[in-house]
Amino acid sequence: MAKLRPRRTYRCSVSRDVPAPILPARLLLALAGGGAIALAFPDHNQWYAAWLGCGLIAAAGWVARWRTGFLVGLVAGLAYFVPTLSWSGVFVGKLPWIALATLEALYVAAMVAVIGPIQRRLVERRLGWAASATVPLGWVVGEWARSTTPFGGFPWARLAFSQADSPLRNLMSLGGAPLLTAAVATLGVLLYAVARAALATRSRALTSRRRVLTSSRRVLVPAVAAVALATLPLAIPLAGTSSTTARVAIVQGNVPKAGLDFNAERRAVLDNHVRGTEALAATAGALDLVIWPENAADIDPLRNTDAAAVITDARNAVKAPLLLGAILEEPAPLVSNASLLYRPGVLDPERYVKQHPVPFAEYVPYKDFFRRFNSNVDLVRDGMATGTQVGYFALQTRSGAPFAALPTICFEVAYDGLIRTAVTHSPQVPSVLVVQTNNATFGYTAESEQQFAISRLRAIEHNRPVAHVSTVGVSGFIRPDGSYADKSSLYTAYRAVADLPLGQGTTIADRLGRIPEYTALAGLSLAWGLGRGPRRRDNGPSTTRSSSAKEATRV
């Protein structure tokens, strides 16, 4: 009879001797993890909760088989996105809100379903460090996927966008949102490693000094790494600004009422902004640029002479270029969401047309199909044109120094490539980022604060000030380091003036572009390849698998 070879032991966890959780425990951890991440975003602003949430989700999905991983990720994703995106259903009902949250949650589900089996293979080969690395790599790749698919993607509520006040925020200047997301997820898996090692220490009989030292090291190493990662980004030097400053004003005119029909009263929104600008002219002094928000002109000023006349009056009152948002009835039969620059003494405005119209908000793909589920899709106009030109307006300060305004419109601020392309493909003169948005259709929700937080991170990423202006709030000026002096309240009239230190050149994040995402995808592929290799032999034989291995293979 052939002699039976003993089975080898292997690790199925970050630390040994702690069994992987059973399915109910996994689901509870996932629910808590997703809920914790939701608390990291405005209006809650508990940015550190994202670290804890990633750790809980890492624990929930650790070495899970793909079916279990998918279920775990779906629960975590729903707990994450249902509260965070609740603003999306405030005026259109619960169905669109839940549908959007579920779609976003599916990406978290797919991520956990993919990395769990990879982790399983890696820990079988005693490559626990590589298994741990799949967590941040998976988050980056997953967010890349949901930022680009379907219909161009929806990158709102990425892990990075919860960190505007955290000590990690300066990482934006090095690798943009992907690097910041990776840091948050890495902190999560380090916290998980600390917890597992501590539990393993309690479960062992520490009968020798060597075992005590080994157990202490397994706790201290990830703990020290977590502290270092959480604090060292504060020492990242941010590039200085140029010597050029521009005196810029923003006007938040407010709307007659919140809701999808905020502009039902003809010219009411436009007149609010005209009055705000005339009041500004009486107190602000000389200005280099005045900015109104998206949809500030609630009727097309190129086709309505009365709208054009009051805009001209406002521009003449401030004696400065006026940059405003309007919906243009062109190119027929489409419409365009545009940013128009009116210069003193020039009749026709220059324009930037929104490059990324939002599906289900500015247009509805497959409208006949989706009408079967919700008739509110007919409230969204057909045919929003897509802009093809980079946002860039050349300007001059009062002293004659050249500078530029780089506009984005509403949700465009969440898409990495749009602002980066404007920064890297425009003439290299001092510039200010302009975010024009209309938040009147989201009521008194966290949507506007979440958007303002994204603008703060974009300021750091591109080393430029941001003029963030909304019809109803939140509006404010953001410094290149992501800080701000003041911001408006919701549904109020507001005006502000600032001497902005303009940014010039490119950051490391600008120059890297998509490389962090490509690197994450390559790293995840490498981890998969390592998991396909031969298992590593243990130093000594054992007749059975360890208890943690047995438990890990159950789910």
Q: 197 and 250: one domain? A: no
Q: 371 and 481: one domain? A: yes
Q: What's CA 532's distance to the chain center, in Å?
A: 33
Q: 52 and 32: one domain? A: yes
Active site residue 294: yes
The whole-number pLDDT of residue 535 equals: 67
Q: 306 and 216: one domain? A: no
Long-range (24+ apart) CB contacts under 8 A made by 193-197 are 193/14, 193/15, 193/132, 193/222, 194/219, 194/222, 194/223, 194/226, 195/55, 195/59, 196/13, 196/14, 196/15, 196/18, 196/59, 197/14, 197/15, 197/222
With cut-offs at 50, 70 and 90, classify the pLDDT of residue 544. Answer: very low
Q: What's CA 475's distance to the chain center, in Å?
A: 18
How many domains is the chain built from? 2
Report the mean per-residue pLDDT for the chain.
90
488-520 pLDDT tens trace: 999 999 999 999 999 999 999 999 999 999 999
pLDDT at 444 over 50: yes
Q: Using the 3D structure, point to which of 506, 525, 545 is the last residue of a domain.
A: 506
Whether residue 4 lies inside any domain: the answer is: no
388-404 pLDDT tens trace: 999 999 999 999 999 99
DSSP assignment letter at 17 = T
CATH code of residue 482: 3.60.110.10
Whether residue 16 lies inside any domain: the answer is: no
Q: Which of 227, 222, 139 is nearest to 179 (CA)?
A: 139
Helix/strand/coil for 54: helix
Q: 329 and 210: one domain? A: no
Give 478's strand partners. 466, 484
Catalytic: which of 104, 124, 143, 294? Answer: 294
What's the CA angle centered on 206, arms 200 and 208, to 5 degrees? 140
Catalytic: which of 124, 143, 354, 449? Answer: 354
With cut-offs at 50, 70 and 90, classify the pLDDT of residue 205. Answer: low
Q: 502 and 516: one domain? A: no
Q: 520 and 482: one domain? A: no
Quote the domain boundaries for residue 488. Answer: 245-506
Q: 31 and 117: one domain? A: yes
472-495 pLDDT tens trace: 999 999 999 999 999 999 999 999
pLDDT at 533 over 80: no
Whether residue 430 lies inside any domain: the answer is: yes
Q: Which range among 47-61, 417-431, 521-535 shows the weakest confidence by mean pLDDT?
A: 521-535
Q: 172 and 291: one domain? A: no
Q: 182 and 321: one domain? A: no
Q: What are phi and psi of 290, to 5 degrees?
A: -120, 135
Q: 227 and 250: one domain? A: no
Whether residue 17 lies inside any domain: the answer is: no
Q: Which range among 200-209, 281-290, 311-320, 452-461 shows the weakest confidence by mean pLDDT?
A: 200-209
The whole-number pLDDT of residue 555 equals: 55
For the four alpha carbons of 35, 38, 39 and 44, in that order, the dihedral sign comes to: negative
Active site residue 461: no
pLDDT at 6 over 50: no
Q: 256 and 227: one domain? A: no
Tokens read off for 64: 């899970």
Catalytic: which of 54, 143, 362, 410? Answer: 410
Whether residue 495 lies inside any domain: the answer is: yes
Question: 0.85 exceeded by the pTM?
Answer: yes
pLDDT at 17 over 70: no
What is the amino acid identity at position 61?
A: G
Active site residue 319: no
Whether residue 6 lies inside any domain: the answer is: no
Tokens read off for 342: 């009116």
237-276 pLDDT tens trace: 998 888 899 999 999 999 998 887 787 788 999 999 999 9
The whole-number pLDDT of residue 7 equals: 43
